[in-house]
């Protein structure tokens, strides 16, 4: 057996506690990003569906949801339940294309595991979410969004608040 000196033991314990503190802090940031980003993105999807119904905004928000969706719910959607729901949404789109537009939900069920893992559990996903948020803002500024008339109404205020929360939770995830 190898004997360890008191100073070596102390440095080993300090390294272990630093790693544990960092992983716990990172876990809290990831959890806040997942729940806060999901709520913000769903709120933006609702505003988009009640506003001008931009399909580009919806596609960007679904990609954002793929990355930030909470792990518990994501695992349910990646399982058999998600496959059935994806199948039903495709069938609904075939029979009722006006009522049920092309479903972007399918990406949750058919995305390859390696791609979903890389986007969800690495910093690559956080950077990708930041880029998606910037694209949403640029599209809004160019006049293709809800606040294109630049009138100060409740819908525009909600959109600006949700976009800022989307950036807040993404930056919280990236900075931790």
**Tell me: the pLDDT tens digits for 58-106?**
888 888 988 888 988 888 888 888 888 888 888 888 888 777 766 677 7
Residue 11 lies in a domain: no
Residue 3 lies in a domain: no
Residue 8 lies in a domain: no
- pLDDT tens profile 23-68: 444 677 788 888 988 999 899 888 887 766 667 888 888 889 888 8
Residue 27 lies in a domain: no
9 Cβ neighbours under 8 A, 6+ residues apart: none
Residue 96 lies in a domain: yes
Residue 14 lies in a domain: no
pTM of the model: 0.75
Question: Residue 141: which domain range?
Answer: 33-175
What total of structural domains would you count in the chain? Answer: 1
Residue 17 lies in a domain: no
Residue 102 lies in a domain: yes
């Amino acid at each position: 057996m190898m004997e360890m000196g008191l100073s070596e033991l102390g440095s080993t314990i300090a390294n272990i506690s630093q790693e544990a503190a960092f992983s716990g802090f990172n876990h809290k940031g990831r959890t806040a990003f997942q729940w806060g980003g999901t709520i913000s993105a769903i709120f933006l999807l609702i505003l988009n569906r009640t506003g001008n119904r931009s399909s580009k905004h919806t596609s960007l928000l679904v990609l954002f949801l793929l990355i930030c969706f909470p792990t518990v719910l994501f695992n349910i959607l990646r399982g058999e339940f998600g496959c059935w729901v994806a199948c039903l949404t495709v069938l609904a789109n075939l029979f009722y294309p006006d009522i049920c537009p092309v479903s972007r939900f399918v990406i949750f069920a058919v995305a390859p595991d390696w791609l979903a893992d890389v986007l969800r559990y690495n910093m690559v996903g956080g950077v990708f979410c930041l880029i998606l948020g910037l694209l949403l803002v640029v599209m809004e500024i160019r006049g293709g969004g809800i606040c294109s008339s630049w009138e100060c109404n409740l819908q525009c205020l909600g959109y600006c608040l949700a976009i800022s929360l989307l950036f807040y939770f993404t930056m919280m995830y990236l900075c931790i």
